[in-house]
Chain A
Amino acid sequence: MILRAAGLRKFYGEFCALDGVSLAVDAGEFVSIIGPNGAGKSTLINVLTGVLRPSAGSVHLNGREVTGIGPVRLARLGMARSFQLVQIFPDLTVLQTLQAAVVSRLGRGTRLFASLARDREVEAGALEVAGLFGLDDKRHTPSRQLPQGDKKLLDVASAFALRPEIILLDEPTSGVSTADKTAIMEILVSAGRRIGLKAIIQVEHDMDIVFGYSHRIIALHQGRVLADATPAAIQADAHVVDTVIGRKTVLPPGPR
């Protein structure tokens, strides 16, 4: 078991955003978290990634308690994330962005007088990930000049460059045209295999993506886990479909 969360509660004043959420993710799994707006998805992601400290409950990564330890240490321990609203370094090029992640992974950030340009290992690590994400042609483009889809890819690519064991993707395809969504997911999954990623958790609204890629789906509703099952079992559960997904959605078949 890579990631385990037990009895997570989070209060914002009187409001209870998470009301006893437990979940576990094993090696080899692609898990999607779904739920209507206000179900607690963002809070859950922020608690799992150590940004928020839960009011109660704990998070364990590889058997080690990581509750609320913050993103910096989690990144070192092998958990990476991407954001719903794309996060880039506007003035840095694609290559520099990926180099920063590799520098951080190799613990070379305090090399004050070393030449970054002559660090072949950092450059190779960055270019490898750029290649996996199809960004190598744009390696010298400043991030702010990239098209939206490439910004999204770069955000995720820089997380991959940390070579994490597990990655949490907060709406990896939001703000991207329907045509590009599948392409992005294909890149993600194959890049994950190449860098030895053990598990992916995503929060996603697009049910085609959720049902097309997940091994397991966790449905949140009003801060609780409504269902935690395979896509097939979720589809068969009329209550979950009614509450979380909506009747109109035509559900595609199970994982590819």
Chain B
Amino acid sequence: MTGRVVLALAGAGVLVVPCVAPTYHVLLMLPFMAYGVALLGLNLLFGYTGLVSFGHALFIGIGAYTGAFLTSKFGVRSLEAILVASAVLGALVAAPVAALCVRYVKIYFGMLTLAFGMVFYTFVLKFYRVTGGDEGTPYLRPSLLGFGLEEIPKTDYLIGPYYYYSLVVLALAAAVMWRVVHSPFGLCLKTIRDNPAKAETLGISVRRYRWYAFMISAVYASAGGALLGAPIGNVDPTLAYWTHSGNLVFMTLLGGFASFFGPLVGAFAFIYLEDALKSLAPSFWRLIFGAILAAIVIFAPGGLLGLVRRARPLGVSRA
């Protein structure tokens, strides 16, 4: 019950942010929502299937570059088309990558995803003529639901229509993922996370289900990448760099991978923390960030939501 109240309050909060908050904070919410979509997918793999990927910036990159190419090279400005194309391309790339990666677990899985991420990063960095190399590719302002919205200033576009568009995409993504993790399929993933050998004897094919989970997570991350790129306006290879993959894992740990909304809390906390630290300690912020990550792993392995749960002993655990 408490959970629903908190969720309703959070929902109401994000709805009114553009009306009450300063422009700067509204703009900070845009990457939060884009990462939120990506992390919902990543956590299907991490929290529900037990596989930690250090390569999902690859799919963020695919989504962002898809948006950049479609808007600046192919004249496709519709964000709906960009999201669909990103998801399809993400799935196409993920199919063979996932098939190879899910043969391994733990550190080997992580390293393999990292390696594929690096391959993609190097590809976009070196194929200058196609991708613009380290200069990147412009991501022109996408049209929303057929409305060009060219006439309004960019900031008004971002804090108005684009904000609510992102919010709707995030809400839809969360609703669909909620169904997935509470479906018979979601239960099979949890059995694999908890005890793969036992899952197999129950007739659940571990590799097949890990592949499905990877595919879904890649589609989510690609869509998140498409949302992330538009406000930046220019997509460069740093989006696909491995430290970006690390940030995704950091956000998930920060919020708590053991709960459905943990990664969203993590994305929110990460973005505001990064912003605050960058202005407070411009030269040391990474140091402080690292210390926070270490402290979380040691003292609060359940992340921020884990801390809340612990403070509320009667909280029903959602396995």
CA distance A112 to B176 in the complex (A): 9
Query: Is residue B187 contacting chain A, with contact meaning CB distance below 8 A?
Result: yes
Within 8 A of B (CB), among A105-162: 105, 108-117, 119, 122, 142, 155, 158-159, 162
Query: Is residue B73 contacting chain A, with contact meaning CB distance below 8 A?
Result: no
> A104 and B203: CB pair below 8 A?
yes
CB of A38 to closest CB in B, whole Å: 23
CA distance A119 to B186 in the complex (A): 14
Q: Which residue of B lies closest to A109 (CB)?
A: B188
Q: Which of A99, A101, A105 has the most chain B CB atoms closer than 10 A to its own CB?
A: A101
Stretch at the interface among B105-113, B158-166, B194-202, B303-311: B194-202
Query: Is residue B291 contacting chain A, with contact meaning CB distance below 8 A?
Result: no
Q: Which positions in A face B, CB cutoff 8 Å?
A: 49, 70-72, 75-76, 80-81, 83, 87-93, 96-97, 99-101, 103-105, 108-117, 119, 122, 142, 155, 158-159, 162
Set B188, B194, B212: member contacting A103, Cβ < 8 A:
B188
> A100 and B191: CB pair below 8 A?
yes
> A72 and B319: CB pair below 8 A?
no
Q: A71-B203, A100-B188, A104-B204 are in contact. List 11 more A-B contacts (CB 8 A).
A: A71-B200, A80-B201, A88-B194, A90-B195, A91-B190, A91-B194, A97-B191, A100-B204, A101-B203, A155-B198, A162-B203
| Chain A residues whose CB sits within 8 angstroms of the CB of B194 once the complex forms | 88-92
> A70 and B204: CB pair below 8 A?
no
| Chain A residues whose CB sits within 8 angstroms of the CB of B190 once the complex forms | 89, 91-92, 96, 100
Complex interface bits, B38-66 against A, C-beta within 8 A gives 1, otherwise 0: 00000000000000000000000000000
**Would you call the interface of chain B mostly helix, strand, loop, or mixed?**
helix
CB of B183 to closest CB in A, whole Å: 5
> A89 and B183: CB pair below 8 A?
no
> A112 and B317: CB pair below 8 A?
no
Pairs across A and B, CB under 8 Å, 27 listed: A49-B201, A88-B194, A88-B195, A89-B190, A89-B191, A89-B194, A89-B199, A90-B194, A90-B195, A92-B187, A92-B319, A99-B184, A100-B188, A100-B191, A100-B199, A100-B202, A103-B187, A108-B184, A109-B188, A109-B204, A111-B185, A113-B176, A117-B182, A142-B317, A142-B319, A159-B201, A162-B202
List of 6 A-B pairs having minimum Cβ-Cβ separation, nearest first: A75-B203, A89-B194, A87-B198, A104-B203, A103-B184, A71-B200
CA distance A90 to B198 in the complex (A): 11
> B185 and A75: CB pair below 8 A?
no
| Chain A residues whose CB sits within 8 angstroms of the CB of B199 once the complex forms | 89, 100
Query: Is residue B126 contacting chain A, with contact meaning CB distance below 8 A?
Result: no
Q: Which positions in B face A, CB cutoff 8 Å?
A: 176, 179-180, 182-188, 190-191, 193-195, 197-206, 209, 212, 317, 319
> B185 and A112: CB pair below 8 A?
yes
CB of B214 to closest CB in A, whole Å: 14
> A76 and B203: CB pair below 8 A?
yes
> B202 and A113: CB pair below 8 A?
no
Question: Contacts A89-B198, A104-B188; is A96 near B179 (CB within 8 Å)?
Answer: no
CA distance A75 to B206 in the complex (A): 13
CA distance A40 to B200 in the complex (A): 23
Q: Which residue of B lies closest to A140 (CB)?
A: B316
CA distance A162 to B199 in the complex (A): 12
Question: Contacts A110-B185, A111-B184, A122-B184; is A72 near B204 (CB within 8 Å)?
Answer: yes
| Chain A residues whose CB sits within 8 angstroms of the CB of B191 once the complex forms | 89, 92, 97, 100
> B183 and A87: CB pair below 8 A?
no
Question: Contacts A70-B200, A71-B200; is A113 near B179 (CB within 8 Å)?
Answer: yes
CA distance A110 to B183 in the complex (A): 9
CA distance A112 to B181 in the complex (A): 8
> A114 and B184: CB pair below 8 A?
yes
Q: Which residue of A lies closest to B198 (CB)?
A: A87
CB of B67 to closest CB in A, whole Å: 26
Set A70, A71, A96, A109: member contacting B185, Cβ < 8 A:
A109
Set B188, B193, B202: member contacting A75, Cβ < 8 A:
B202
> B187 and A81: CB pair below 8 A?
no
| Chain B residues whose CB sits within 8 angstroms of the CB of A92 once the complex forms | 187, 190-191, 194, 319
| Chain B residues whose CB sits within 8 angstroms of the CB of A75 once the complex forms | 200-203
> B186 and A116: CB pair below 8 A?
yes
> B197 and A87: CB pair below 8 A?
yes
> A71 and B201: CB pair below 8 A?
yes
